[in-house]
A and B are shown apart, each in its own frame.
Chain A
Amino acid sequence: MSAFNQNRSRIVQLIFIGAFVLITLQLINLQVFSTKYKMAADNNAFYRKVIYPDRGIIFDRKKRAILENTISYDLVVIPAESKGTDTLALCALLNIDTATYKKRMRDLIFKNGAVKPSVFEPLLTTENFARLNENMYRFPGFTLSERSVRSYPYDCGAAVLGYTAEVDTGFLRRHKDEGYEMGDYFGTTGLESSYEKVLMGQRGIKRFIRDNKGRIQGPWEKGEFDTAAIAGRNLYSSIDVELQKLGEKLMENKVGSIVAIDPKTGGILCMVSAPTYNPNYLTGNQRKKHLVDMMYFDPRKPLLNRTVSTTYSPGSTFKTLVGIIGMAEGVIDDQMTVSCGGSYLGCGRRMGCHAAGTFTLKPAISKSCNSYFAVAYRRILDNAKVNNRDITLGLFNEYAYSFGLGKKLGVDLPSERMGNIPTAKYYQKIFGKNWQACNIISNSIGQGEITTTLTQLANVMAIIANKGWYYLPHLIDSVEGGDDYEMLARFKVKQRTKNIAESIFEEVHEGMQGTMEFGTGAYAKVPGINVCGKTGTVENAYRGESLKDHAFFGAFAPRENPRIAIAVMCENAGYGATSAAPIASLLIEKYLRDSIAGPERKAKIEQLSNMNLIPPQMKRLMKPEPNTIKKENIKKAIAKN
């Protein structure tokens, strides 16, 4: 019997082998050739905790921190462990009702699960934190978790410094390989945005093992593969925070902007956009609501940086440039005189002028005579040597470009606009091939299609002060630990205008000093300092309604050794001499003397600060106070956001 069927023993063994081979093949498939299981396992088991580094601090020119970090606290809850919490007491402390408490809890569990920690109330106020801290024993499952938030110790510089916001899906798509994740914050505007790369530092990653219910079991491999967070680099700015604060104070109740530049370095000393807001307004737990309020419901548009993102007709300030170009091209000289009877009639159409008399260049600048610069502009365009306006306008534009107009300057702020220096092509389209100088004569006094940003104007002042050269205006001078990304390299390159003789600038300086001594800028005199300035007014209208002129003032000082170039603009302020010019003079004094001397000048600060120049069309829109706006609108806006 034993011998019988013995060959079947082999078959049985073959069946065993067959099954084991099949199993081995599947094991090879799973363990050797598939990577997806390994990934799935990591997804299962690792909890990556991002350790946020402190963002870099921004210092002003005297090493005072103007944007730094403070600790804020979030109230964090693990819903599964929160049974036994004194709900009523907690609600009373947070000033919410129990329905809200329950709803929040439901939402958190829905979003994040019951065993993972979720933020119940972010960015607690200091009082709330103190009260909660004493009572935490009553709230099992709740903890106070620290986090670093931005703070602005001087309450100023909102438009320049910018703010941070949580990344959204669009941002993540645009910055795919830069390591951002949902829940990260990034610099959205201002310097926070321009220098995000260096300010953000490097996130640390800690890996934890978690179990099938998402509970943390401990660090993975004792933290061997964790990376430490590296703090962001500090930035040293050229801003003078006292000057900035004074500028913001002077611009209270006004719409407009101020840019002051150190002509020797191109470093921006102060940059004020009004109306502004306290930047700390966007750091607390109400930040989202405040942001939405300002972004969608505030007619004053406080988030708009009017120094780089708004363009204006430069007005009479532009005349200095017309004079310089005319002289440089040799179509006018310091002997040429123009007689003005209170208007320019050379083009048929009457162009009014506030200054009557017979002027050479210097007094023409001082008195801001329209007729003189209309003549000069026509001479530039109708240059007999060239006899082609397309070319002469091109030439004129080349000068303008070399003064940093008609293109983005490259200031280290986002959303800078380029302004407009119209070309011959543009005019051919409007006026035909044979367009005349008279077609565009309003350009001569900075009123036509030419537009500039205020920063560009301040830069023009710096160029005139330097007599033909400049450094790109910028806010950041240096990065702590070195400028590894070469973000500052372009600010160290000396830029030159088209070749213009120094004597021409001397003439213009003379004329601009005259403005202060006996001309339109008499209000802006600074006792004991030779200031060179130029006023400007620009007519404008809003929806057909004629409005008060925009007031400009551009200046630099001291004439002998210019240390500050400044441009001030007050929208709808009327004649520039009464608002923009005195503001500039106070800032010049403050910067050059470090303080304002004498009670009379100090009183001037208060007087200017209180002067309300909010244009009427804006006042009308402001009537409904932001807090009376229906809540649904805010919600809608948030949803859209």
Chain B
Amino acid sequence: MNRRNNNIATEGIDYTVIWLYGILVSIGVLCIFMVEYKAGSNWLSTFLGGKANYSKQLIFGGVCALVATFILLTDSKIFTAFANLSYLLGILLMLATFVLGKNINGSRSWIPLVGGFNLQPAELCKIFTSLAIAKFISRQEVDFSNLKSQLIAGVIALTPAALSILQHELGLALVYLSLLIAMFREGLPAQFLIIGSCFGILALATLIVERDALSITLTILAGLIIFLAYRQVRKKQRLITITAILSIWILCVGVQRYVVPYIFNNVLECYQSTRIYSMVGKDYDCSLNKKSNEKVTGKAARKPDDYNVRQSKIAIGSGGFFGRGFLKGTQTRGKYVPEQDTDFIFTSLGEAFGFVGCAVFLGLYLYFLFRIVRIAERQRSTFSRVYAYCVASILFFHIAVNVSMTIGLFPIVGITLPLISYGGSSLLTFTVLIFIMLRLDADRQMVLR
């Protein structure tokens, strides 16, 4: 059972995924081309010169194809064997950035390599963490229904997240939270997700509603629930019920009055708090922010903080239903959207091809995700299934958050659009993620541990 049929590496590979992968990377190069294109310039010569970002991205694509082929030719067992080791290596690399780190765009998360390339360990660590979680959950002695295993898996996922926050890479840190989706599939109680969502709603309410008003509302709500529950519940249980409700009430008010402000003032950077506040149309007072007070020698005055979102929404909105057409986007050509070839690449698509183009594009992505879920569900080995779910979760989170932030549904955190955004690091990471999954899937008849 453990041997490959006819020793052909291509046997059992899911070509649908490869097609989707190829299409998306091509769309990405095209989008970068739209961003870089200048009317009148000879694009062919810039393309062949390899100086422009779209030709660089094509080169990255070629490199990734090589890497992908290499992964497909390897033995699946390598991934299980080195899962834990690679995770340790990843963590070490992330720690190394604190010593060797190079400051790029205000984040010290890059390690300079030879030839002018830079490595972002937090990016690669997504792969390693996925492997490590898959490895942990698939261990025979692990019963994922008990709390201890759940906590260990949580620690595996959240360690790189914590390190990312220390590197001021909030976006990357959030990505690791997405692994909760994979864990949920493996039996993580739904309460975690529900409580998490409740916390999110409460945090949002804290932003929108005035502090004391929210406290009073919560108190009234608690009183009302106690009043209603009092008659419903039998005498014996009354005390317990009321205690439970009261403690939830204390928890909520505590979160609302202290925890949320603490996160905004002490955990998040000033600009991050400002972005989140600006989402609900409010101003954040940076003098409250501990971090901004610490480093007085901050960056030079930046543009008004909703500039990015505004320009991004304008670009997408101006596309209308059918879009302005290929290379005809005025906002793209005028370079109105900052970082348009990386985090805001979706805007060039939205402007050029409008709602129709966006819908088709998102449909493609959704189909991709569903395909991965289907692949995950057909695995015999838990390792492969968990890993595939991790891939799906990470991809989903990247897509959802990236698109949401360009259309003003989510605060701006540095998260790329998988396979589309310009950048070798991001493309390589997703290539490796996806092709390891394909390799594992090709061997879906094997039981890997």
Contact = CB atoms under 8 A, between A and B. Distances in A.
Interface of A: 1-2, 4-6, 8-9, 11-13, 15-17, 19-20, 22-24, 26-28, 30-32, 34, 36-38, 40-42, 44-46, 209-212, 217-218, 220-221
Given A42-B330, A44-B334, A45-B331, A36 B184 contact: no
A478 B444 CA distance: 93
B313 A30 contact: yes
B263 interface: no
Nearest to A17: B366
Interface residues of B, number: 52
Interface string B130-157: 0000000000000000000000000000
Contacts of B186: 5
Contacts of B199: none
Contact of A217 (B334, B359, B362, B409): B334
Majority secondary structure of chain A interface residues (helix, strand, loop or mixed): helix
Contacts of A2: 377, 379-380, 382, 385
A16 B370 contact: yes
Contact of A30 (B187, B362, B407): B407
Contact of A45 (B185, B320, B334, B370): B334
Contacts of A218: 39-40
B76 to A, nearest CB: 18
B184 A20 contact: no
Contact of A37 (B185, B318, B328, B373): B318
Interface of B: 38-40, 181, 184-187, 311, 313-321, 328, 330-331, 333-336, 350-351, 354-355, 358-359, 362, 365-366, 369-370, 373, 376-377, 379-380, 382, 385, 389, 392, 396, 400, 403-404, 407-409
A212 B185 contact: no
Nearest to A1: B382
Contact of A8 (B39, B185, B336): B185
B366 A30 contact: no
17 contacts: A1-B382, A5-B187, A16-B396, A17-B366, A24-B362, A27-B358, A30-B316, A30-B407, A31-B354, A42-B330, A44-B334, A211-B333, A211-B334, A211-B336, A212-B335, A217-B39, A217-B334
B362 A20 contact: yes
B314 A27 contact: no
A41 B359 contact: no
A11 B181 CA distance: 10
A23 B350 contact: no
Given A31-B316, A31-B358, A41-B315, 8 more contacts: A2-B382, A16-B396, A19-B396, A19-B400, A22-B404, A30-B313, A42-B318, A45-B334
Majority secondary structure of chain B interface residues (helix, strand, loop or mixed): helix
Given A17-B366, A209-B330, A27 B389 contact: no
B330 A12 contact: no
A22 to B, nearest CB: 7
Given A5-B186, A5-B187, A45 B330 contact: yes
Contacts of A209: 330, 333-334
B359 A12 contact: no
A23 B350 CA distance: 13
A64 B350 CA distance: 60
Given A5-B187, A41-B315, A217-B333, A32 B377 contact: no
Contacts, number: 132
A37 B377 CA distance: 43
Contact of A12 (B350, B365, B373): B373
Contacts of A38: 317-318, 320
A193 B317 CA distance: 44
Given A31-B321, A211-B335, A26 B407 contact: yes
Given A22-B409, A23-B362, A30-B317, A210 B40 contact: no
B318 A40 contact: yes
Contact of B389 (A12, A26, A212): A12
A4 B311 CA distance: 47
B334 A40 contact: no
A2 B379 CA distance: 8
A32 B350 CA distance: 12
Given A20-B362, A31-B350, A41 B409 contact: no
A41 B317 contact: yes
A212 B316 contact: no
A614 B389 CA distance: 101
A46 B181 CA distance: 46
B39 A31 contact: no
B355 A8 contact: no
Contacts of B311: 44
Nearest to A18: B400
A19 B392 CA distance: 14
Contacts of A41: 314-315, 317-318, 330-331, 351
A21 to B, nearest CB: 10
B184 A12 contact: yes
Contacts of B409: 22-23, 26
